[in-house]
Amino acid sequence: MTYDSAKDAFAAWGVDTEVAIDALGQIPISVHCWQGDDVVGFEQKTGASGGGIQATGNHPGRARTPDELRADLEFAYSMIPGKHRLNLHAFYLDTDETPDRDEIEFKHFEPWVDWARDQGIGLDFNPTFFAHSKADDNLTLSHPDQGIRDFWIEHGKRSREIAARMGAAQGTPSVNNIWVPDGSKDTPVDRMSARRRLEASLDEMFAPAHDKAHLLDAVESKLFGIGVEAMTVGSHEFYLGYAIRKGTLLCLDMGHFHPTENIADKLSSVALSVDELLLHVSRPMRWDSDHVILLDDSIRQMAQELVFADLLDRTHIGLDFFDATISRTAAWVIGVRNMQKALLEALLMPQARLKAAEEALDLTTRFVLTEELKDLPFSAVWAEFCARNERPTGSALIRDLDGYQARVAARS
Ligand code: RNT
Ligand code: ZN
């Protein structure tokens, strides 16, 4: 179908495809750096790996250096329509120096900042509270040992400073997201002390004030992880309350809840109590497996809530998945494009008509509408969006993805 006939088909439903295309072009997705190298990072490794974060697979082409990762990212962005961001983790520093986590400084990230400026890409940031000997107990900010807590508090403070300087340099705030692996493999007897320690550490870490135009603090909850099956200190209730009391962003990772929970349903509830949200869009398969996101119902529902509840302006959309069994660049490209496709579909819905049927309790009409709307020619509008952004679709996209993968496959 041509774009013009698709445009007419949507117009018959009262939907302007031009408005949807313009809106989609304004939505930045924060692309997570860690899909490119299986969450390894660029530190001179001590061999420690606390935190339970691990990618599965050994597909050829893993980025081994910051230059390789940037080359892969440049390729990925060249396949993705629109202007996006990069979500950098602290252990992706780019320097010949070997600072420990409590010694990192802005200068260790300057090559990233320069590159991002040249590319016109905004940076977001994350302190790295895992893959370190001082995280081997799966305890960091809530560790009973004050020295270990202080080490991680310092890492968090430095990360906030670095993110704030990135935000100042780029003219849009850098979201600095806190996720700690802290928890207990077996049933604890003193959850309260652990949570009080985490709270006190966070308070200390957040004490230095930064301009909100440069830095937005976010906190990410989790239900459980490998090695912390019995309790995660930073649970959803913990961070929901913390974010409300302290005015931070709340990060909802789609893999961090019970598998049958609908994360899209949470947005409107949480948005009544916190100003801004961060999403880690992911695909948990039976557990927090971080599969590459598909254009499936969970992603569609998420996008529809963002659009229908008018939350796009106060939600930062980040992705969080890593799969090393397939081309890492293809994983990035398809994942980001799937998020965009879901947003486009939501933007192309006759929202007023659907909401009116629901408000009138005409649930039959709502039902018939949602099902009949699935036949609308979304793909023709997506193809038009890609064409206007000079991005390939279909077999041309496959050819380009294959071509790049073939070029990086020789990396060992
Ligand atoms: C871990 C969290 C966290 C990490 C990244 C690498 O379960 O989802 O967001 O995946 O920080
Ligand atoms: Zn996450």
**How far is residue 197's CA from residue 204's CA, in Å, rounded to a whole number?**
11
CATH superfamily of 25-350: Divalent-metal-dependent TIM barrel enzymes (3.20.20.150)
Tens digit of pLDDT at every position of the chain (412 positions): 999 999 999 999 999 999 999 999 999 999 999 999 999 999 986 555 667 788 999 999 999 999 999 999 999 999 999 999 999 999 999 999 999 999 999 999 999 999 999 999 999 999 999 999 999 999 999 999 999 999 999 999 999 999 999 999 999 999 999 999 999 999 999 999 999 999 999 999 999 999 999 999 999 999 999 999 999 999 999 999 999 999 999 999 999 999 999 999 999 999 999 999 999 999 999 999 999 999 999 999 999 999 999 999 999 999 999 999 999 999 999 999 999 999 999 999 999 999 999 999 999 999 999 999 999 999 999 999 999 999 999 999 999 999 999 999 999 7
Which residues on adjacent β-strands are paired with residue 281? 319
Report the nearest-CA residue for atom 9 of ligand 1: 179
Query: What's the token pair of residue 321?
Result: 């998945």
Residues with CB under 5 A from ligand 2 (ion): 253, 280, 320
pLDDT of residue 343: 99
Amino acid 412: pLDDT: 76
In this prediction, residue 303 carries a pLDDT of 98
The reported pLDDT for the residue numbered 44 is: 80
Query: Which structure tokens are listed for 334?
Result: 């398809």
The residue ranges of every structural domain in the chain are: 25-350
**Which amino acids are annotated catalytic?**
179, 220, 222, 253, 256, 280, 288, 290, 320
For a substitution probing ligand 1, which of 229, 251, 280, 282 has the most ligand atoms within 8 Å of its CB?
Answer: 280
CA distance 316 to 276: 8
Look at residue 285 in the predicted model and tell me its pLDDT.
Answer: 96
DSSP count for the chain of H helices, then E strands: 14, 10
Helix, coil or strand: residue 371: helix
- Secondary structure letter of residue 309 according to DSSP: T
CA atoms within 13 A on the CB side of 299: 26
**Cα–Cα nearest to 393, from 347, 325, 353, 344:** 344
Question: At which residue do the structure tokens 């049927």 appear?
Answer: 357
CA angle 80/81/82 to nearest 5° reads 115
Count CB-CB contacts under 10 A for residue 241.
Answer: 13
**280 CB within 6 A, ligand 1:** yes
Among 35, 40, 53, 87, name the best residue to mutate to test ligand 1's pocket (greatest count of ligand atoms within 8 A of Cβ): 53
Decide: 338 in ligand 1 pocket, CB within 6 A: no
| Cα 134 to chain centroid, rounded | 25
CA angle 345, 350, 352 (to 5 degrees): 135
pLDDT at 47: 57
